[in-house]
Structure formats: C-alpha cells, structure tokens
C-alpha cells in the first residue's frame, strides 16, 4: 500500500466501560470511516429480532429437505455392512432392471479420509476396492420414488471378502493389530486438529508423532520446576447430530449444474464440485436457504454429494439424496477421541516452567485427532513439548466439529491447571492471574467471579450428604479467524430500496440479520428496509460458516460496500440540495448536512439515480494492523478470542448423576453485532459442552464394528430438562482492526464448558474425572463404588 | 407432552382385522388438516409426516429421525401434540390435524410464535416448528406456566443448536402476557 491509497484514522480501542482509548491506524482509502462504540450507534450492537424468525416459526422457511423440483428422482446409497472387506465383485443387473430405477453409480473414488499413496483403489467398474468401515459408501441408485431406490440398493449383489478389522483405539495401537491402511497415507487434517502434513512416521495404525508446535526445552523446564503434575485424560467420539440431515438436490443440465444443498459453505461446495466434475466455476450454482445445523460437518461435498451429481448427470434429471439418521451417525463426520498425557511443571509462585503433552487419538479412517492450539497458546510458558499421533481404526472419518482440537485439549489442560493450583495451595483464579497474559480474560475472570459468586467455593468434598455441590471454572481460547476471500455487494435502487448480496449462508447464527444491521447503520435506514439475499453463489462469493470467521469476514465488506455505494448516491444528489458531497451523511432515513441545515429523504435521493440501480462490490481487506498469520485466503487476527466460564454442579454420589445447575459465561467477540443472537450462540455452545461432558458417546461394537447407538434415543444429547440456568455476559472489545471490528463467537463458547464442569465435579466430590463423558457409571467408578470400565473407542 | 395412548384402531380386534385387508397399494383416505379436508390416494404404510410433507406440501413439519426420538415432526391430533412420524396417515381417521402452517390466524401469529421471535428462541430453525407446536399446546392447556412445566412439555424435543434457554424465556413471557 502506498500512502496515496491509504489514510490515517483514529479508532476506539479497549474494553468498553473498563479502559477505552484511541489508536491511529493507516487504512485503505475505500474503507468506511471509524465506527464509534456500540452505545453511539442506532442499529449495530442492538438486539434486532432475526429477519427470518417469522419464516422459521411458521414453518415457511425452506430447508434443503423441502426442495422439490419437477421430475426429481430420489437416491439412496449402498453402504458396507462390514467394517473391513475387499469388494470382489458388484452385480448391479437386478437393480438396473428394478422398475423405476433411472441411474446407478458404483463409487470407486472416495474422498474425506486418509488416502494411501498406492493400492487402495482399482479402476472403475471392477472389483478390488477395500471398504474400510461400516457405512463406507459403495454405490448409489436414483429412482422415481425413495422406495424404488431403496429396493434397487437392496438388489445390488456385492461379493465381499471380509478382512480383519479393529475399532478399539487401544487395540489398534498394538503392533499385531489388523492394519486399516497397508501403505503410506497422506491427506488433509479433516477433523481440524493436528497432526496433518506430510512425512510423518507411520507404524502399524499409528501416524506420528507430529512434533510441530513445540518450543523451548521441556526437559530443562521440568528440571527447574518445584512442582510437577502429570495425568492422562481421555475424551470420547462425539457425533454432530445436525437435526437437518446432510442432503442435496443436484440438477445437472447441459448449461450447468445447480445444487440445493444443506451446507456451511456455498462457495466452497461450488469450487469443490466444479473441480470434481471438470466444470467452470461460472457453470456451477450452489443454493441454500434455511439450513438445519452443521457444526463443522457440512463444510465439504463429500461422497454423497458427488454421488448425487453423478446420478443426475447420468439420469438427466434432478436427484435428491438425503441421509437418514443412521447414516448421519455412522458416516457424516465426528469429533475424534483423544488420549492425552499431560505433564506441567511450575515454580512455587505458579510460574510455568514446562508443559509436555503426548497425545494420540482416532479420527477413524480420517486424519486430525489432535488437540488444536489450546495448550500451545493460552498460558505463558517458554518450554512446550507436543507429540501428537493419529491412530487409524475401522470407523467413519472424523471431521471438524465446533472448536476442533481445542475442546478436548481444554478438557485436559484446564483440569491440570486446577490440579496444579491445588498443589501450590493457590486459588484457580489466582494461578491463572499469574500465568495468563490476556488482559481480556483477566477482565472476564473478574466479571465472571463476581457474577457467579466464586467466593462461595469451599474445599473439595465439603458437603456431608449424598448430594454434593461444587463450583468450577475454565477458560477458552480460539483463533480470531478471517477469510479474506469474502465479498459482498450492496445495491441501491431508484425507488429507495436496498439489497445486500453475498453467497454467505445463514446456518442458524443469524448472519443475514447482522448484514441488514450493518447496511442499515451505514445508510441511515432500518434493518427491515434492507433486502438480504444470501446463500446463493449467484451473488459475490462470501465466506464459509465455520471457524467462527463469518461475521469477521463478511461484515467489513458489507459496511464498505454500503459506504461506497452511498458515496456514489451522495455525489449524485449533493447538487440538488446545494451541499458539498463531502459534507453529507446518511441518518434517520435522510441524507443531510452535518448540521442538518439541508437534507433530502433517502427515497427522494434515490429517485435521482440515472439508472434503475447502482451497486458496489467490496471484499475483505486485511486487518488494519495486519494479521498474526495469513495463508492463502485464511488469516488469523493478532489477538485470539477468549472467554471464561463458571459452572455449579450437584453430584449425586449414590446414583452417580451429575446435574449442572448454573453456568456463567463471560465471552468476547470484538464488537458484538447483535447481542441477543450472540447470547443464543453462547447458550448453544454451553449446552453442547454440557452434553459432551455428561452424555454423548459413540459406542462401537468391537466384535462387529457397528455403532450400537446410531440413533437419537441411545446416543444421548442434552435436552430441556438438563438445561441449567445460564447467564451470558459479553465484553465489547474494540481493537480498530476492520470496518466493523467484529469477530466470532460460536467456537469459543464451546471450549471452556466441559473442563469447568469437570473442575466443579472435583470441587463437589474431591475426586477427579479425567475421562469423558462423566456418566453416572464413570462417577461411581471414580468414587470406587463400581469397578472402572475400560477406555472409550 | 406427547400422547402415548394407542391409536383407536388397536382397541378393537375386528377393526384391526379389517385394516389388515387394506393395501399395500394406494388407498383413498380423507385427512382434515388445518380445518381443510383433503382427499388423498396413498399407500397405507405412509406416515402422517410423509402424507403432510409429500402429498400435501406442508413441509413445515420436519422429520429429524423418523423414529419418534427427536419430536421435530410434532403436530396436533385433536389439539394434542403427537409425533407425526410415528402415526400412519390412515390411522388418523376423522380426527383433526393441526400443523405449524395452521397455527397462526392469517397474519396474526400465535402468541408462542411471537414470543419465540422476540426472545430469539430460534437458531437453525429445524426443530422449531415441532417445538412451537408442543409449546402452543402447553399454553392452550395451562396458561400459568412454571419453568418445570415448560421443561416437561419440551423434554422430548431435540434442539442441537441449544435454543432451550430462550425457549424457556419465550414461554414464561407468553404465559405472563396471557395472564394479563
């Protein structure tokens, strides 16, 4: 940037009502001027009801599963009933002859898992492919009815040669365990955590260790320590359980492909399908309106979407493929299990001298069962050693799930820090004051402790009766992520109506409402004056809804586009009210001089447009003070996101039942755009955290490889009765980094919950639970009332 | 709360035997949905949820599990909430079905719908129609609600986004408004 393209501006920085100041930033010339703190704004920062609320409460909101196209066919998948087998032959003859069948596709190339460099697949149409888990897709059928498609799937004859398999994490690590992969593997870290990358050692089913992220000299640090705490922690496999199943309607035409898909990333699906089918980006359109939950699992097209597109091309008709609940549970991704051995050393005053973590986990046949960057980044410690390994088992591949890596990572580290505090004779908050350099979390601890009543906390196991109460807390850390490849258009029409357009999708977070707020604020209008068009790649390519980056990525370009199109309008109308364009602002539905002496209504101003509409497309500029890291389209802001949560539990020592009675969460997300919607997301993060801590667990049968609770009644998820009182407090943390200064909230709110509960359970009963879920059986075993069970799979 | 009583036809062996003679091909039947009578020609194995969604295009009723485990498909049968995926359309008989599309009076939302919007008791929205139907039935039968009443009435509903706290807020508010 040359100085000619930039200008200097003063931005508010600091935590509102704690310590506000101003900072000068050089910003690109097209940027909207600095936005004052929320208290001085009309629309941004207000709890505006979500714009599609009415559609959602009346059943009118169109979800992907509701899409019906003329001539639409229905597809079903044939999936492996065996956990490991070689497919010797596939006979589709009878299926082809079944009435109503229009297309059959045998799946030879699979995606979304670790890939062997050689030996896994054989040429199309022949036998020899290995299926690696129960549910591994083999073929797809499209027919005129779902029943006909299923009947045809059942008629496909597959000759399987069963192979030895392993689904237990500990069994899979043994040298003589059946091999999931027999050749070196590579691939992306689908589950989001480390390890990934190439050139890791591979022995048997173990890939790793990956040592990246280590720093300093851990051995020297432990030699310096007065106190060392060392323990092993185990976390289970959690499944996403989006209430709307994964699904799409693929419509292949001569002039291009249109896909209606329940996805977190329309622009990403477009790129993925264009590449997979050799189509130009301009000939692929991806659409999602209402979207029934993703939590990381609807980020890519996967095998099912490729199958549906292939069937549509073959049948020359639209094809609907929607997974059923059983398929959702076994083959739509999951949060990997981990086994983490942590060792933390400190001096008597609490200063950390070393952290060493040796962790392995399983993402099934996928990669990325690591523990993220939590332990690596949250506390001040010069010596940090990290060894991470993936263990392959014959189970469906993991994928990113809300704060991948950091959720299991925080469960282990935050309990270890509490153990260290106890050994040092320090309050957990006092120790964190010493080792946590974040000024934001310091404020969050202060607010949280006061609101929660931390001073009520007593010695562990203080209650004398069978029901024991306890208080605990834990902290959160998550990258403030940004995708710079995020664009948005704002249009003003001659009748004064306004549109904001981007392919960004609303997966339930309410980003459409936030876009209306941003544009309304800039144009001096009301949110209901703005028509929001999103979830369609016909519009400028927006960001994904993952990584807690959506608001940070798309609201600055939305504001800049609104600002720039408004300047165009002002240039046009300024002469009509004899004012200098530079002196005009938009507020309260009018374009006026700063002193309000001359003005014109927004609609009357728009009537002067020489064309039916004008528009400006803007994309995400870099954070004003630069990013901490940038790789391609993705970047991390200089300051990570924090959050502190406090939990109060009651543990019944006779039944082992843990009840979470109250949670206080203090969170930050830069500038909060819509506090009510943010509160919704934080509540959701906490409730998923409680559910992860106490109830959820995928159970695989080690004798058959089948998931035993592949449904929604035996896979236990928190519901209304287990919902505690939740108080959410949001910091306004201004940093002067973009046109909106907003960052994300979804993932940070999900990280601290499980360890806060675990620390509270310890405070209640005086015994630590180092394994998830903290089920009644686990609690009773920890209390010595029943035998310990073996580890999770 | 879901009505767990057996369908009427099971009460009578004679009726059950008669029922056995129907199908598997399509049969004519009449469904009273949102005070409109619909003539359908569908297979007896068709669930009420499928009939509403596929035959009548009333797609507000959602299917999350198709096994009565998530309650996304909750509709009213003679004013009582039931899981539409767990009942065959043919077993509805002359009873009245109310779906999410029939809850509002024209443009005027049911108080529960308005309260859900005001309190942001909605995230992805997939479980929302079912939750609204259970909550509206609760408010109709018990206008003076406690938090425990609300938790009990919605205990069968799976909401993965975690809207429960705002659902509780919305219902307490709707109950307060109804009382005044």
Q: Between residues 222 and 261 of chain A, which touch chain B (CB distance below 8 Å)?
A: 240-245
- Measure the CA–CA gap between B163 and A684, rounded to whole angstroms: 6
- Confirm whether A750 is domain-assigned: yes
Which domain-ending residue is among B102, B129, B157? B102
Q: Which among B109, B124, B156 has the least Cβ separation from residue A243?
A: B124
Task: Tell me how far apart the alpha carbons of residues A501 and A530 are, in angstroms, rounded to a whole number.
Answer: 10
3-state secondary structure B5-60: CCCHHHHCHHHHHHHHCCCCCCEEEEEEECCEEEEEEECCCCEHHHHHHHHCCCCC
Record: contact A244-B100, CB cut-off 8 A: no
Q: How far apart are CA A506 and CA A227, in angstroms?
A: 49
Global ipTM:
0.96
Q: What is the pLDDT of residues A165-180, one digit of tens each?
A: 999 999 999 999 999 9
Domain residue limits at B172: 111-179
Which chain A residue lies closest to B162 (C-alpha atoms)?
A684
Whether residue A60 lies within 8 A of chain B, CB to CB, comes out as yes
> Does A144 contact B at CB distance below 8 Å?
no
CATH code where residue B133 lies:
1.10.150.120
Provide mean pLDDT across the span B9-34. 76
Among candidates A49, A245, A684 on the partner chain, residue whose Cβ is nearest the Cβ of B117: A49
> Within 10 Å of residue A578's Cβ, how many Cβ atoms?
8
Same domain, A115 and A256: yes
The CA distance from B72 to B127, in Å, is 5
| A378 falls within a domain | no
The whole-angstrom distance between B148's CA and the closest CA on chain A is 8
The last residue of a domain, from among A311, A331, A351:
A331
* Boundary residue ending a domain (B57, B74, B102): B102
Helices A428-435 and A406-424, axial angle in degrees (round to 10)? 110
A222 within domain boundaries: no
Is position B13 within any domain?
Answer: yes
Give A757-775 pLDDT, tens digit per residue: 999 999 999 999 999 999 9
A 10 A CB-CB count for A161 gives 13
| Contact state of A59 with B61 under an 8 Å Cβ cutoff | yes
Could you tell me if B56 and B120 lie in one domain?
no
Helix axes A406-424, A753-765, angle to 10 degrees: 40
pLDDT of residue A793: 42
A711 close to B (CB below 8 A): yes
Of A636, A668, A688, the residue that ends a domain is: A636
Tell me whether residues A57 and B168 touch, CB distance under 8 A: no
| Helix/strand/coil for A415 | helix
Of residues B23 and A527, more confidence is placed in: A527
Task: Give the Cα separation of A227 and A391 in Å (integer).
Answer: 32
Asked if A324 reaches chain B (Cβ–Cβ under 8 Å), the answer is yes
Do the domain assignments include residue A458?
A: yes
In this structure, the number of other CB atoms found within 10 A of the CB of residue A157 comes to 11
Distance from CA of A710 to the nearest CA of B (A): 11
- Assign B178 a pLDDT band (cuts: 50, 70, 90): confident
* Residues B37 and B120 reside in one and the same domain: no
Note whether A608 and A462 are same-domain residues: no
- Contacts with B162 from chain A: Cβ below 8 Å: 683-688, 718
Residues A707 and A793 placed together within one structural domain of the fold? yes
Residue A562's closest CA among A49, A35, A3?
A35
CA–CA separation, A594 and A603 (whole Å) = 19
> Are A487 and A444 in a shared domain?
no
Q: Indicate the range of A180-189, A359-368, A784-793, B6-15 predicted with least confidence.
A: B6-15
What string of DSSP letters covers A139-194?
A: EEEEESSHHHHHHHHHH-EEEEEE------HHHHHSTTSPPS-SS-EE---TTSSS
Angle between helices A675-694 and A753-765 (to 10 degrees): 50
pLDDT in tens, A75-114: 999 999 999 999 999 999 999 999 999 999 999 999 999 9
Put simply, whether A61 touches B (Cβ < 8 Å) is: yes
pLDDT 10s digits, A390-401: 999 999 999 999
Beta carbons of B159 and A711 less than 8 Å apart: no
| Strands, E assignment, A224-308 | 227-235, 238-239, 247-253, 256-261, 284-287
**Cα–Cα distance, A65 to A57 (Å, whole number):** 17
Contact call for A680 and B163, based on CB within 8 A: yes
What is the per-residue pLDDT for A343? Answer: 98
A632: left (phi over 0), alpha (psi -120 to 50) or beta: left
Q: Is A753 on the interface with B (CB under 8 A)?
A: no
Shortest Cα–Cα distance, A50 to chain B (Å): 7
Evaluate the CA torsion angle B160, B162, B168, B171 in order and state its sign: negative
Q: Are strands B74-77 and A658-668 parallel, antiparallel or unpaired?
A: unpaired
Cα gap A367→A390, rounded to integer Å: 7
Q: Strand runs (DSSP E) across A276-430, as ranges?
A: 284-287, 319-322, 334-335, 337-346, 352-362, 384-391
Same domain for A92 and A74? yes
Chain A from 8 to 47: CB within 8 A of any B CB:
47
Q: Please say which residue of A309, A331, A353 terminates a domain.
A: A331
Q: Using CB atoms, which residue from B58, B120, B151 is nearest to A680?
A: B120
| CB atoms A58 and B162 under 8 Å | no
pLDDT at A123: 45
Q: What is the pLDDT of residues A590-647, one digit of tens each?
A: 999 999 999 999 999 999 999 999 999 999 999 999 999 999 999 999 999 999 999 9
Question: Residue B125: which of A61, A65, A712 has the nearest Cβ?
Answer: A61
Residue A737 predicted with pLDDT over 80? yes
From chain A, the residues in CB contact with B146 under 8 A are none
Mean pLDDT of A703-732: 98
CATH number of the domain where residue B21 is located? 3.10.20.30
B56 and B130 co-located in one domain: no
pLDDT of residue B19: 55
Percent of chain A with pLDDT over 90: 94
Q: What is the mean pLDDT of residues A346-367?
A: 97
**Lowest mean pLDDT across A193-207, A544-558, A618-632, B12-26:** B12-26
Number of domains in chain A: 3
pLDDT digit string, tens, across residues B105-130: 999 999 999 999 999 999 999 999 99
Residues B139 and B169 in one domain: yes
Q: Give the pLDDT band (50/70/90) at residue A273.
A: very high
Q: In the sheet where A733-734 sits, what is the strand order?
A: A19-28, A6-15, A733-734
Based on the structure, what is the number of domains in chain B? 2
Q: What is the CATH number of the domain that holds A473?
A: 3.30.365.10
User: Residue A49 is nearest to which of B53, B118, B123, comparing CB atoms?
Assistant: B118
Q: Which residue of A has its CA nearest to B150?
A: A720
Q: How far apart are CA A521 and CA A621, in angstroms?
A: 20
Nearest C-alpha in B relative to A674:
B120
Mean pLDDT, residues A421-427: 98
Q: Are A566 and A659 within one domain?
A: no
Do the domain assignments include residue B1?
Answer: no
Residue A420 lies in a domain: no
- Mean pLDDT of all residues in A129-147: 97
Q: Are residues B53 and B125 in the same domain?
A: no
**Cα B49 to Cα A34, A406, A410, B64, B116, distances in angstroms:** 52, 40, 42, 11, 23
Chain B residue nearest residue A663, CA to CA: B165
Contact (CB<8Å) B120/A677: yes
Q: Identify the helix (H) or strand (E) that includes residue A208.
A: strand A206-210
Give residue A598's pLDDT: 96
Of A52, A683, A721, the CB nearest to B162: A683
In-domain check, residue A453:
yes
| C-alpha torsion angle, residues A165, A167, A168, A170 (rounded to 10) | 60
CB contacts under 8 A, A 265-304 vs B, are 290-293, 295
Interface check A58 vs B, CB under 8 A: yes
Closest by Cα among A365, A396, A392, A308 to A79: A396
Can you give the pLDDT at residue A260? 98
| For residue A195, pLDDT beyond 70 | no
Q: Which domain holds residue A487?
A: 481-636
- Please report residues of A whose CB lies closer than 8 A to that of B104: 58
CA distance B83 to chain A (A): 14
In a domain, B124, yes or no: yes
Backbone torsion region of residue A14, taken as left when φ is above 0, otherwise alpha when ψ lies between -120 and 50, otherwise beta: left
pLDDT value at B144 more than 90 = no
Nearest CB to B64: which of A53, A243, A688? Answer: A243
Answer whether residue A174 is part of any domain. no
SS (H, E, C) A627-680: CCEEECCEEECCCCECCEEEEEEEEECCCCCEEEEEEEEEEECECCCCHHHHHH
Q: Give, in degrees to the nearest 5, the angle at Cα B90 between B89 and B96.
A: 65
| pLDDT for the residue numbered A452 | 98
**Within this chain, do residues A751 and A621 fall inside the same structural domain, yes or no?**
no
Calculate the average pLDDT of chain A. 96
- Say if A142 falls within a structural domain: yes
Nearest chain B alpha carbon to A717: B158
Beta-sheet pairing, A725-731 with A733-734: unpaired
Distance in angstroms (rounded) separating the CA atoms of residues A492 and A333: 42
For chain A, the C-alpha Rg in angstroms (whole number) is 27
What is the side-by-side strand order in the sheet with B80-83?
Answer: B36-42, B27-33, B96-98, B74-77, B80-83
pLDDT of residue A63: 98
pLDDT in tens, A670-702: 999 999 999 999 999 999 999 999 999 999 999
Collect all residues of chain B within an 8 Å Cβ-Cβ radius of residue A58. 60, 100-101, 103-104, 109, 113
Q: Which of A508, A683, A718 sits opposite B166 (nearest CB)?
A: A683
pLDDT at A792 over 80: no
In a domain, residue B136? The reply is: yes
Closest residue in chain B to residue A264, using alpha carbons only: B124
Q: Same structural domain for residues A122 and A271? A: yes
Number of C-beta neighbours around residue A211 at 10 A: 12
Return d(Cα A512, Cα A506) in angstroms, integer: 6
Residue B21 has pLDDT above 90, yes or no: no
List the beta strands (DSSP E) in A295-444.
Answer: 319-322, 334-335, 337-346, 352-362, 384-391
Q: Give the closest residue to B63 by CA, choosing from A330, A64, A68.
A: A64
């Amino acid at each position: 940037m040359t100085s000619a393209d930039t200008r200097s501006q003063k931005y508010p920085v600091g935590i509102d009502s704690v310590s506000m100041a101003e900072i000068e930033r050089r910003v690109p010339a097209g940027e909207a001027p600095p936005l004052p703190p929320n208290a001085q704004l009309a629309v941004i920062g207000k709890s505006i009801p979500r714009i599609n609320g009415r559609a959602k409460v009346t059943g009118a909101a169109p979800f992907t599963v509701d899409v019906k196209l003329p001539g639409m066919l229905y597809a079903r998948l044939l999936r492996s009933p065996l956990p490991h087998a070689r497919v010797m032959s596939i006979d589709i003859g009878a299926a082809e002859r079944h009435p109503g069948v229009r297309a059959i596709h045998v799946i030879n190339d699979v995606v979304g898992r670790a890939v062997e460099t050689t030996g896994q697949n054989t040429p199309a149409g022949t036998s020899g492919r290995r299926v690696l888990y129960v549910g591994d897709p083999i073929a797809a059928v499209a027919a005129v009815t779902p029943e006909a498609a299923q009947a045809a799937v059942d008629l496909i004859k597959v000759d399987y040669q069963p192979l030895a398999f392993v689904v237990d994490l500990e069994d899979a690590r043994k040298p003589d365990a059946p091999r999931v992969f027999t050749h070196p593997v590579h691939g992306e870290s689908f589950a989001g955590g480390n390890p990934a990358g190439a050139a890791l050692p591979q022995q048997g089913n173990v890939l790793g260790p990956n040592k990246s992220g280590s720093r300093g000299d851990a051995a020297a640090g432990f030699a310096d320590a007065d106190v060392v705490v060392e323990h092993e922690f185990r976390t289970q496999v959690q499944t996403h359980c989006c209430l709307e199943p994964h699904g799409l309607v693929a419509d292949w035409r001569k002039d291009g492909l249109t896909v209606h898909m329940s996805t977190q990333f329309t622009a990403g699906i477009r790129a993925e399908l264009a590449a997979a089918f050799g189509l130009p980006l301009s000939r692929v359109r991806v659409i999602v309106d209402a979207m029934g939950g993703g939590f990381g699992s609807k980020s890519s097209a996967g095998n099912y979407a490729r199958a549906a597109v292939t069937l549509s091309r073959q049948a020359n008709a639209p094809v609907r493929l929607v997974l059923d609940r059983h398929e959702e549970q076994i083959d739509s991704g999951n949060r990997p299990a981990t086994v983490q051995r942590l060792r933390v050393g400190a001096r008597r005053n609490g200063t950390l001298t070393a952290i060493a973590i040796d962790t392995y986990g399983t993402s099934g046949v996928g990669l990325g069962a690591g523990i993220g960057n939590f332990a690596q980044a949250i506390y001040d410690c010069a010596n940090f050693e990290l060894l991470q390994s993936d263990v392959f088992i014959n189970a469906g591949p993991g994928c990113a799930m809300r704060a991948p890596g950091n959720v299991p990572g925080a469960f282990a580290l935050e309990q270890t820090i509490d153990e260290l505090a106890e050994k040092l004779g320090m309050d957990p908050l006092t120790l964190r004051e010493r080792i946590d350099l974040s000024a934001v979390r310091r404020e969050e601890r202060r607010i949280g402790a006061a609101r929660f009543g931390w001073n009520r906390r007593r010695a562990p196991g203080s209650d004398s009766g069978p029901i024991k109460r306890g208080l605990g807390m834990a902290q959160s850390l998550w990258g403030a992520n940004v995708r710079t490849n995020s664009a948005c258009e704002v249009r003003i029409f001659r009748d004064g109506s306004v549109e904001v357009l981007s392919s960004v999708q609303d997966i339930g977070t309410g980003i459409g409402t936030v876009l209306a707020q941003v544009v309304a604020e800039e144009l001096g209008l009301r949110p209901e004056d703005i028509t929001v068009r999103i979830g369609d790649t016909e519009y400028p390519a927006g960001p994904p809804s993952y990584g807690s980056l959506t608001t940070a990525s798309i609201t600055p370009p939305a504001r800049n586009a609104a600002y720039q199109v408004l300047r165009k309008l002002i240039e046009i109308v300024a002469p009509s009210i004899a004012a200098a364009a530079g002196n005009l602002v938009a507020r309260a539905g009018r374009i006026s001089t700063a002193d309000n002496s001359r003005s014109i209504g927004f609609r009357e101003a728009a009537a002067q447009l020489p064309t039916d509409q004008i528009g400006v497309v803007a994309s995400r500029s870099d954070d004003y003070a630069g990013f901490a890291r940038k790789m391609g389209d993705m970047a991390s802001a200089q300051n990570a996101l924090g959050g502190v949560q406090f939990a109060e539990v009651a543990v019944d020592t006779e039944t082992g039942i843990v009840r979470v009675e109250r949670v206080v969460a203090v969170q930050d997300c830069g500038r909060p755009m819509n506090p009510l919607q943010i509160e919704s997301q934080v509540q959701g993060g906490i409730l998923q955290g409680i559910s992860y801590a106490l109830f959820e667990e995928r159970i695989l049968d080690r004798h058959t490889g089948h998931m035993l609770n592949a449904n929604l009644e035996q896979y236990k998820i928190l519901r209304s009765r287990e919902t505690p009182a939740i108080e959410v407090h949001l910091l306004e943390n201004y940093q002067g980094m973009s046109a909106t200064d907003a960052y994300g909230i979804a993932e940070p709110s999900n990280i601290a919950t499980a360890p806060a509960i675990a620390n509270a359970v310890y405070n209640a009963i005086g015994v630590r639970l180092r394994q998830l879920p903290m089920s009644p059986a686990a609690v009773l075993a920890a209390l010595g009332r029943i035998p310990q069970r073996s580890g999770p799979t | 709360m879901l009505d767990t009583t057996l369908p009427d036809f099971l009460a009578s062996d004679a009726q059950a035997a008669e029922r056995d003679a129907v199908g598997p091909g399509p049969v004519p039947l009449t469904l009273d949905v949102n005070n409109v009578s619909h003539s359908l020609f569908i297979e007896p194995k068709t669930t009420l949820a499928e009939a509403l969604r596929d035959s009548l295009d009333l797609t507000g009723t959602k299917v999350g599990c198709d096994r009565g485990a998530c309650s996304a498909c909750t509709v009213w049968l003679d004013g009582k909430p039931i899981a539409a995926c767990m009942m065959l359309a043919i077993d509805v008989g002359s009873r009245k079905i109310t779906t999410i599309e029939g809850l509002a009076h024209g443009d005027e939302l049911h108080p529960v719908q308005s309260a859900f919007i005001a309190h942001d008791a909605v995230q992805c929205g997939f479980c929302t129609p079912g939750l609204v139907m259970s909550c509206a039935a609760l408010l109709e039968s018990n206008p003076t609600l406690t938090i425990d009443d609300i938790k009990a009435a919605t205990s069968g509903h799976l909401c993965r986004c975690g809207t429960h706290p705002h659902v509780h807020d919305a219902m307490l508010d709707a109950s307060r408004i109804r009382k005044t």
